[in-house]
């Protein structure tokens, strides 16, 4: 039986075709080899040491705190401008009401003239859409009675004030919009810094996390050592001051005890009325701060369930009847500057060159503060961070 299958065309294996195939194969192998060598030669990003990671994370937290203070300042400004706008709008509404009252009274006079016999030129002007036309034609004023002239004057004044207040309200609204944009930008900056810090920490291995914890323990131990040294210096200073007061006391001046409030370290003594007044206020502020222990740090928070650093110090001193500004940058300008060796309980201690953090001194070289995201209000050595300076706020 005859097959109908089409015969397969044979490819001639000539020497030239074999050379072409060999060349293509060689080129392909060369390409693979080159790509492999290029991949191996590509520089790899060196893995950061745990010390470098810690430094980076600390820097990001500090930058986030600085951005938080910018956010706090912008929010405070926005709140103030929003209040200003609301007040201006309320004033404008009241002014418009007064203007309408004056206009109704003008209409009453015009109606009376109409009932008295026709619409006079005066009445036509009073009923005009633009009252300024009436004012411009001052030669008609002498036709009005004294009370009518007063009503016209009042209307003119109310109208002018209403125009000014509307313009001021418009400008305030524009400034408020700008402040709100700044507020949004500061908020994003804080969130970006915190996100980057969390990402760095999330990439650490278990071993690296253990090494990071060890570095933190060493840092805390060194800070505690310095706090104890300051406590000893302050206690010695208090002892000498008590002895000096006893030596200068005479029998006619009482027992000569004159000791300060007895807080742990930090009091420079002196026994003056001002010292007693400050110690009383500071005790109230510290009692409030201690009651917040364990509450979480939340950037931009002012209580009662969470705080940032300046929100805590502001709320604590408010409980003692002392009003502090919102940001660390403004709080550092209040009260009197104090040397670290002369710190008393209640004093505010500020940190870093950009003054981005603050805590409240409790004595013994320690403070209460809201540390950073992920941490809670706690007691810590003032030497845990580089000190910028301190103030006595009251």
The mean pLDDT of 271-279, rounded to a whole number, is 73
Neighbour tally for 393: CB within 10 Å:
23
- pLDDT at position 114 is 57
d(CA 205, CA 48): 12
> Above 80 in pLDDT, residue 23?
no
Give residue 38's pLDDT band: very low, low, confident or very high (50, 70, 90): very low
> Above 50 in pLDDT, residue 307?
yes
Query: What are the residues whose beta carbons fall under 8 Å from the beta carbon of 6, sequence distance 6 or more?
Result: none
Helix (H/G/I), strand (E/B), else coil: 344: coil
- pLDDT at position 44 is 58
Most confident stretch, 85-89, 123-127, 193-197: 193-197
pLDDT tens, position by position, 336-388? 999 999 999 999 999 999 999 999 999 999 999 999 988 999 999 999 999 99
> Above 70 in pLDDT, residue 7?
no
Output the CA torsion sign for 189, 194, 199, 201.
positive
Give residue 81's pLDDT band: very low, low, confident or very high (50, 70, 90): confident
Give residue 259's pLDDT band: very low, low, confident or very high (50, 70, 90): very low
The answer to whether the beta carbons of residues 356 and 328 sit under 8 Å apart is yes
Between 58 and 376, the more confident residue is: 376
- pLDDT at position 171 is 78
- pLDDT at position 12 is 41
Of 4-8, 36-40, 292-296, which range is least confident? 36-40
- pLDDT at position 262 is 37
Distances (CA, A) of 275 to 19, 42, 301, 348: 102, 68, 32, 16
Between 61 and 8, the more confident residue is: 61
Between 244 and 291, the more confident residue is: 291
- DSSP class per residue in 36-69: HHHHHHSPPPPPPPHHHHHHHHHHHHHHHHHHHH
- pLDDT at position 241 is 87
Distances (CA, A) of 71 to 29, 295, 329, 353: 60, 21, 12, 19
> Above 90 in pLDDT, residue 169?
no
The mean pLDDT of 11-19, rounded to a whole number, is 47
Element (H, E) at 77: helix 50-115
The answer to whether the beta carbons of residues 174 and 168 sit under 8 Å apart is no
- pLDDT at position 247 is 83
Only one residue has tokens 């926005």, namely 78
d(CA 196, CA 239): 49
Indicate whether this model's pTM tops 0.85: no
Q: Average pLDDT over the chain, rounded to whole?
A: 77
Percent composition of the chain: helix, strand, coil (DSSP 3-state, to 5): 65, 10, 25
Helix (H/G/I), strand (E/B), else coil: 307: strand
Of 66-80, 201-215, 377-391, which range is least confident? 66-80
- pLDDT at position 246 is 84
């Amino acid at each position: 039986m005859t097959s109908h299958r089409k015969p397969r065309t044979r490819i001639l294996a000539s020497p030239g075709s074999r050379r072409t195939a060999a060349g293509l194969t060689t080129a392909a192998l060369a390409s693979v080899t080159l790509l492999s060598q290029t991949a191996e030669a590509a520089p790899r990003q060196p893995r950061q040491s745990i010390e470098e990671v810690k430094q980076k994370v600390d820097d990001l937290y500090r930058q986030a705190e600085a951005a938080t203070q910018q956010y706090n300042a912008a929010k405070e400004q926005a709140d103030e401008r929003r209040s200003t706008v609301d007040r201006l709008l309320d004033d404008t509404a009241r002014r418009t009401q007064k203007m309408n009252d004056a206009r109704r009274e003008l209409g009453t006079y015009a109606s009376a003239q109409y009932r008295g016999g026709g619409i006079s030129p005066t009445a036509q002007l009073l009923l005009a859409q633009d009252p300024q036309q009436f004012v411009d034609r001052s030669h008609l004023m002498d036709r009005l009675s004294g009370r009518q002239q007063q009503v016209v004057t009042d209307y003119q004044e109310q109208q002018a004030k209403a125009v000014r207040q509307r313009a001021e309200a418009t400008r305030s609204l524009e400034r408020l919009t700008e402040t709100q944009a700044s507020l949004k930008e500061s908020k994003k900056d804080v969130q970006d810094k915190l996100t980057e810090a969390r990402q760095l920490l999330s990439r650490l291995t278990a071993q690296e996390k253990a090494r990071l914890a060890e570095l933190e323990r060493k840092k805390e131990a060194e800070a505690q050592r310095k706090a104890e040294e300051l406590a000893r210096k302050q206690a010695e200073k208090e002892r000498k001051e008590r002895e000096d007061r006893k030596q200068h006391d005479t029998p006619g001046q009482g027992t000569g005890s004159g000791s300060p409030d007895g807080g742990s370290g930090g009091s420079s003594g002196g026994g003056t009325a001002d010292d007693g007044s400050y110690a009383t206020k500071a005790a109230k502020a510290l009692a409030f701060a201690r009651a917040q222990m364990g509450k979480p740090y939340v950037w931009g928070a002012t209580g009662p369930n969470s705080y940032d650093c300046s929100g805590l110090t502001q709320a604590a001193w408010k409980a003692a009847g002392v009003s502090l500004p919102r940001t660390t940058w403004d709080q550092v300008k209040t009260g009197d500057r104090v040397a670290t060796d002369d710190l008393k309980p209640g004093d505010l201690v500020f940190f870093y060159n950009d003054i981005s953090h603050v805590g409240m001194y409790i004595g013994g070289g320690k403070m209460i503060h809201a540390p950073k995201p992920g941490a809670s209000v706690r007691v810590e050595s003032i030497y845990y961070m580089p000190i910028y300076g301190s103030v006595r706020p009251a």
